[in-house]
Amino acid sequence: MATVISNERLVNGVYHLRVEGDYGGTMGQFYMLRAWGAYPLLSRPLSIHQVNDDGVEFLYHVVGEGTEIFAELTPGDQIQLEGPFGNGFPAVEGKVALIGGGIGIAPLYYCAKELQGSDIYLGFSREAFRTEAFRPLAAELTVDVGGLILDRVDFTSYDHIFVCGPHPMLKAAQLKGIAAETTGKRPKVYLSLENRMACGIGACLVCSVSCRDGQRKACADGPVFLAEEVLFHD
């Protein structure tokens, strides 16, 4: 059990949760959280937004039963965390772009802190949030509301690109990575996938991802995958 330090509403439906304790983790890893007893049944995976000496932070979007309960948390409340799980983003060198769509910006803040001086692209459908926290960490910060953030990124000018966002955005990023390759510039594109999970540790196989070399587990082999490895079926 851990104690909630704060749970701040940033904009409508988006919250910034800070939890006290000695919680580690690298960029792109996640925790399985629950702030209830038996129901809802499954814990909810949330990416690490940042880790520091006080504890660990999350940024989450309220979409259903579980995150609605998270939104009710106030300082001093108890919450259960298991983790950190997953592989996380690789530590890379060279020119890096971080691209986040909506709540997909959550894991990128930790990346931005670890890889200072990246170009950061944040796209939102309606309302931007948390963008000012990214500004001091970015070589260049591009924020877009209502458009397609990927249209603002020249994939050929980066060595490494980290992407987290909704499913269609991940597929589009994969295609842009492949297109960039044909120009001779070959950025390594990494995607963070958000498959439904049950165990979060690699035991149940409900989070399976089809990859070139067969089935992989989003929770244990991912959530970060090299874009070219993933086979998107739909």
- Rounded least distance, CB 214 to ligand FES, Å: 15
* From 141-149, 156-164, 184-192, 198-206, span contacting ligand FES (CB under 6 A): 198-206
Q: Which of residues 170-209 bind ligand FAD (CB under 6 A)?
A: 194-197
DSSP three-state, residue 151: helix
* Nearest in space to 109 (alpha carbons), one of 49, 177, 20: 49
Which residues lie below 8 Å from residue 146, measured CB to CB, with a gap of 6+?
Answer: 124, 125, 126
Question: Is residue 203 at the binding interface for ligand FMN, with CB under 6 A as the rule?
Answer: no
**Which residue, among 91, 94, 85, has the nearest Cα to 111 in the 3D structure?**
91
DSSP state of 187: P
Does 84 contact ligand FAD by CB under 6 A? no
Using the rule CB under 8 A, is 69 a contact of another protein? no
Query: Does residue 63 belong to the site contacting another protein (CB under 8 A)?
Result: no
Cβ atoms within 10 Å of 2's Cβ, excluding its own: 19
Indicate the pairing of strand 96-101 with strand 160-164: parallel
* Closer residue to ligand FMN, CB minimum distance, 45 or 187: 45
Burial class of residue 156 (count of CB atoms within 10 Å of its CB; 0-12, 13-18, 19+): middle
Strands 55-61 and 50-51: antiparallel
Asked if residue 5 binds ligand FMN (CB under 6 A), the reply is no
Which of 206, 211, 220, 226 is close enough to bind ligand FMN by CB under 6 A? 206
From the number of C-beta atoms within 10 Å of its C-beta (0-12, 13-18, 19+), residue 215 rates as exposed
Is residue 106 near ligand FAD by the rule CB under 6 A? Answer: yes
Length of the chain counted residue by residue:
234
For position 92 contacting ligand FES by CB under 6 A, the verdict is no
Interaction pattern, residues 26-55, with ligand FAD; x per rule: CB under 6 A: ----x-----------x-xxxx--------
Nearer to another protein, 2 or 108 (CB): 2
Q: Which does 209 bind (CB under 5 to 8 A by kind): another protein, ligand FES, ligand FMN, none?
A: none
Rule CB under 8 A: which residues touch another protein?
Answer: 32, 38-43, 82, 196-208, 210, 214-215, 220, 233
Rule CB under 6 A: which residues touch ligand FMN?
Answer: 204, 206
Rule CB under 6 A: which residues touch ligand FES?
Answer: 197-200, 202-207, 217-219
